[in-house]
């Protein structure tokens, strides 16, 4: 394998700079014991799983979760791209950010995503309605971050998003 530098996504460049080369990355990742140590360093208790991903507490900071996507279903990539769009909304659309759990980081291949962790709080009164642009609206996909009731599973957006202020009941579509 050549040490020739290639133009890559900013995350990969950052990773490549940390490890000096793609060759070094391949060498390290090929060592099963090192891979296992890295995984156990990052991944703590399993919180849940769905059809495409498993979610774990982030061992280095329990305010976050790690979503691991073994198959290439693009759910992590969808969440990452959508969050990057949403976090930039300003003015009349700034309110949209309040409905989504923030994404902190995604691996270069999209298989690992770090997201702010939500909590279930049965003492807090949930909103009776959520924005109509939300797609997979089952209650399991929502939780609390502080005083905000947010969606923490938005990797399955199928429709073009028009950030309308129209609302709907939780559980309407699924």
Please report whether residue 4 resides in a domain: no
As given in the structure block, the two tokens for residue 35 are: 């891979």
Task: Determine the 3-state secondary structure of 154 from DSSP.
Answer: coil
Does position 48 have pLDDT exceeding 80, yes or no?
A: yes
Question: How confident is the model at residue 116, as a pLDDT?
Answer: 98
Task: Provide the domain limits for residue 85.
Answer: 10-169
Q: In the Cβ-directed half-sphere of 61, how many Cα atoms lie within 13 Å?
A: 7
Q: What pLDDT, in 10s, does the model give residues 75-121?
A: 999 999 999 999 999 999 999 999 999 999 999 889 999 999 999 99
Q: Are 137 and 173 in contact (CB under 8 A)?
A: yes
CATH assignment of the domain containing 69: 3.30.200.20
Question: How confident is the model at residue 174, as a pLDDT?
Answer: 44
pTM of the model: 0.76
As given in the structure block, the two tokens for residue 156 are: 């399955």
Please report whether residue 18 resides in a domain: yes
User: Number of folded domains in the chain?
Assistant: 1
Q: What pLDDT, in 10s, does the model give residues 16-42?
A: 556 566 677 677 777 777 778 888 889
Q: Tell me the Ramachandran region of residue 171: left when phi exceeds 0, alpha when psi lies from -120 to 50, beta otherwise.
A: left
Residue 160 has φ and ψ, to the nearest 5°, of: -60, 135
Please report whether residue 49 resides in a domain: yes
Question: What is the distance of C-alpha 121 from the center of its chain?
Answer: 21
The mean pLDDT value of the chain amounts to 83
């Amino acid at each position: 394998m050549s040490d020739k530098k290639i133009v890559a996504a900013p995350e990969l460049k950052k990773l490549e700079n940390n490890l000096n080369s793609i060759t070094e990355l391949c060498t390290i990742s090929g060592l099963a014991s090192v891979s296992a140590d890295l995984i156990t360093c990052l991944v703590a208790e399993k919180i849940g799983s769905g059809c495409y991903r498993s979610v774990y507490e982030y061992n280095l900071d329990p305010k976050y979760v790690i979503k691991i996507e073994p198959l290439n279903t693009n759910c992590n990539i969808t969440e990452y791209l959508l969050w990057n769009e949403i976090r930039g909304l300003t003015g009349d659309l700034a309110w949209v950010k309040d409905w989504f759990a923030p994404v902190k980081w995604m691996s270069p291949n999209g298989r690992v995503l770090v997201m702010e962790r939500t909590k279930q709080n049965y003492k807090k009164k949930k909103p009776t309605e959520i924005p109509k642009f939300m797609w997979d609206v089952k209650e399991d996909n929502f939780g609390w971050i502080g005083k905000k009731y947010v969606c923490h599973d938005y990797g399955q957006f199928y429709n073009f998003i028009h950030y309308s202020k129209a609302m709907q009941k939780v559980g309407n579509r699924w």
